[in-house]
Structure 1
Amino acid sequence: MNSDPQRAWDVAYEWKIVTLLSLGFGLVGVDRFMIMPLFPVLMADLRLDYQDLGHITGRSPSRGVCRPCSREGLPTGSATGKS
């Protein structure tokens, strides 16, 4: 084993990982902010009204955050032994 902890630390690898994570989170942010200007085109093509756009706008930020909380991710009553 290497007893020197500074030798095992790879700074180049750390910078690569931080850069990749920053790009990933940045792309998610761009995706969420770029859908708003496309709403007039979406309204015409999909025959949506303003209420539908409000539902899309309110739901899109929670889409990625609440994915584990969806019905598929929750245990059912049969799994706990209760009906």
Structure 2
Amino acid sequence: MAVKKLFGNLRNGTADIKSHRWFHHTNFEGIFNRQIEPPFRPKIKSASDTSNFDDYPHSDLKISEHNLFQDQFEEF
């Protein structure tokens, strides 16, 4: 699927998502202002607790043979 055709990437941006019927009763302003109580709040032990996330096997970083975007970082 082309990313250009996904909701949020269309002409109206996030307005396309907010106006979708699935979100009809969603109070986006209340969410933004943190006035809405979340339906689920996971228990965490600390700010860096990742126990609510799945573990994934370590994979080695693959280095490309070609530096495809070097021109974009010349001034960096």
Bigger RCO of structures 1 and 2 (CA < 8 A, at least 6 apart): 1
TM range (shorter): under 0.3
Give me the TM-score of the superposition, normalised by structure 1. Answer: 0.23
Structure (1 or 2) with the larger CA radius of gyration: 1
Give me the TM-score of the superposition, normalised by structure 2. Answer: 0.24
